[in-house]
Structure 1
Amino acid sequence: MKKIVLVLIFTFLSMILIGCQEKSQLRIITPAGSPTLAQLYMQEDTEKYSVDVVNGADPLVAAFMALTPTHDIIFAPTNLGARSYNSGSNYLFAGTVVWGNYYLISKDKTTFDMASLEGQEIIVFGQNQTSDIIIKYLIDELNISVTIDYVDSVANAAALYMADQTKIVMVAEPTLSTIASKVASLQVIDLQAIYEDVTGESSYPQSGIFVLNTLSKRQINQVLSDLKASIDHANDNPSETGILAEELEIGFTALIVEAAIPNSHLNFTNALDSKAAIEDYFNRILALNPALIGNALPGDDFYYQP
């Protein structure tokens, strides 16, 4: 009888241990652009991470709302993460990685500043995403009337600009550096500087990292440690990072990535330290269009706590 009991106990404990085994490789999804640059040195470590780089918001929405999770880690606009959380997703906000990275570009304008946009058409990528939020917020605060023509990705916005360089187009790094390398006398409006003039805040929490809530704290803390190291190394070594980006075939040359990193505003700030900036930014969105964050500020359990 004792032997039977011991066997049953051993079997039960074995099942628990098997159930608690952590995945050896975590799957990441990230939009092309600056969030991809942020995690580049994680992507290099193929034993720990498998990375899907995507264009547009649709694959990110699908990842957030999948009934059976397809990814352990999602890099995404912060408002998209909040909206998904308010819709019942299983991902926690673990930190900000990009602090503002949007620019308006054109060419051959006599004057190219915010006032000169009055009555103009602007091509904007990512309807109802952070890019859209920022441009709408700024033109509203500055009382500027424009027509917005949407495309689904920064790549498509860039293609339209290259077809007609007199257009006014919203872009982000590294696309900005790509265009600047091809277009002489490119005119640029830095929307981070405009945002600071309007709000008094140095920038806004554009993109963040979201982690599946079934991951262990040990796993999540290791991910965040790896991410911070990746961002710090990219900022400190843009030339080396450019070479790695080209090796990983993320779609940009080494020289473009090297040029893009200083204007990408990569900086890891953990969830709790980001909270004040997140809530300030989300309150501005609530005043603009509440649906863009799911009609309410996310609760405290939205924020990962180590």
Structure 2
Amino acid sequence: MFANPPIIPGIAETTFEAAPSVDALIPKLIKGEVDIGILPPNVAAKINSLHPESFLVCAVVGNGMLSVVTTDQSLTSPAGLKEKKVVVAGQGSTPEYVFRTLLDYHNIEKNVTLDFSLPTPEIAAALISGKIDYAVLPEPFATVAVMNGKKAGVQVRRGWSLVDGWREAGYGSDFPMTLCVVRKDIFESHPDAVRVFLAEYRKSIEWVLRNPQEAGPLVEAAGLGLKAQIAEQAIPVCNFVFIPAQEGQEQIEGLLSVFLKFSPDSIGGKLPEDAFYLK
């Protein structure tokens, strides 16, 4: 969409912005400076609890993309993490709580040390240098670690997929990582325009998934911090999806229930009402 903004009836211009962080995006959504945004599910739920009915969830646009990335060539299951230290990308967020849930399911949560001391962009280099041996990483950072490790002559690999672990534990077919949300007043004043945008967004995701080689240079040109070659390799494993809110509600609530167990305040103390989801 950065490269070819959609033409939306009734809307003079559609502009896109890559926010440097979720924290930078939240005030803009609340103040009305941004009409549509992409947020982690727990952040969306938390804002909804503080500003009821400020926006609606339109769709799940990114599903689980977490792996335990390691230089340990023998790791294939969580059992291999007993008595190990694992660096986790994102304290108090989806990587931590999904990982802890799965460790608990395998009865080894107390036997694994979680380390949150490294910023996510530095984890790949720490793996390659041997500073750390195990890390829970989302895409595209896992792909960065694997590819840069190969260049350095170090075999970095995805040892265990948390998505597979989630499925095998019976928590659901997948868990959401990112949601598309729209300000409620914008949907109420321009419902057709929002629907056109969402239809075009879906087409954009589908095109990227079909054409990672062509999409790679567009990712680099958009200033998202990824080189085209890495983006091309990451796209097929980033688990981009477009699942309308109503269809994804059960999946979203499955993940938010994990936050409710570990940190109720992180989602506002309860699951959002049905009015949270665009019908």
For Structure 1 versus Structure 2, the TM-score category normalised by the shorter chain is 0.7 to 0.9
What does residue 24 of structure 2 align with?
59
* 1:32-67 deviation per Cα after TM superposition (whole angstroms, max 9, x unaligned): xxxxxxxxxx22235522212324x43244445x4x
For 2:271 and 2:43, how far apart are their aligned partners in 1?
12
For 2:195 and 2:118, how far apart are their aligned partners in 1?
33
The one-letter code matched in structure 2 to 1:157 is I
Shift of 1:110: 4.3
SS at match of 1:148: strand
* 1:194 aligns to 2:165 (yes or no): yes
* 1:228 aligns to 2:191 (yes or no): no
Q: How does 1:136-147 map to 2 (within 5 A)?
A: 136-144=100-108, 145-147=111-113
Q: Which moved more, 1:152-161 or 1:179-188?
A: 152-161
SS at match of 1:133: helix
Q: Which moved more, 1:154-163 or 1:98-107?
A: 154-163
SS at match of 1:93: strand
**Residue number among 243, 265, 281 corresponding to 2:255 in the alignment:** 281
1:213–1:151 distance in 2 versus 1, CA, 3 Å: farther
What does residue 70 of structure 1 align with?
33
* 1:83 aligns to 2:46 (yes or no): yes
SS at match of 1:127: coil
* 1:292 aligns to 2:262 (yes or no): no
What does residue 176 of structure 2 align with?
205
The one-letter code matched in structure 1 to 2:234 is A
For 1:93 and 1:230, how far apart are their aligned partners in 2?
19
Contact 2:98-2:258 within 8 A present in 1 as well: no
1:165–1:103 distance in 2 versus 1, CA, 3 Å: farther
How many residues align? The count is: 261
Shift of 1:219: 2.6
For 2:171 and 2:256, how far apart are their aligned partners in 1?
16
For 1:106 and 1:248, how far apart are their aligned partners in 2?
30
* Identity across matched positions, percent: 24
Q: How does 1:1-150 map to 2 (within 5 A)?
A: 42-45=1-4, 47-55=13-21, 57-64=22-29, 66=30, 68-88=31-51, 90-108=54-72, 110-144=74-108, 145-150=111-116
Shift of 1:279: 2.1
For 1:292 and 1:70, how far apart are their aligned partners in 2?
24
* 1:239 aligns to 2:209 (yes or no): no
The answer to which structure, 1 or 2, has the higher relative contact order (CA under 8 A, 6+ apart) is: 2
For 1:165 and 1:263, how far apart are their aligned partners in 2?
26
SS at match of 1:45: coil
For 1:193 and 1:174, how far apart are their aligned partners in 2?
18
For 2:105 and 2:38, how far apart are their aligned partners in 1?
29
The one-letter code matched in structure 2 to 1:99 is N
TM-score normalised over the length of structure 2: 0.85
Contact 2:89-2:138 within 8 A present in 1 as well: no
SS at match of 2:232: helix
For 1:264 and 1:151, how far apart are their aligned partners in 2?
24
1:269–1:226 distance in 2 versus 1, CA, 3 Å: same
For 1:185 and 1:264, how far apart are their aligned partners in 2?
21
What does residue 180 of structure 1 align with?
146
The one-letter code matched in structure 2 to 1:230 is S
Q: Which moved more, 1:267-276 or 1:161-170?
A: 161-170
Contact 1:107-1:165 within 8 A present in 2 as well: no
> Over aligned residues, Cα RMSD in angstroms?
2.1
1:157–1:73 distance in 2 versus 1, CA, 3 Å: farther
For 2:261 and 2:225, how far apart are their aligned partners in 1?
37
TM-score normalised over the length of structure 1: 0.78
Bigger radius of gyration, 1 or 2? 1
SS at match of 1:123: strand
Shift of 1:120: 1.6
1:167–1:59 distance in 2 versus 1, CA, 3 Å: farther
Shift of 1:109: 5.0
Contact 1:97-1:267 within 8 A present in 2 as well: yes
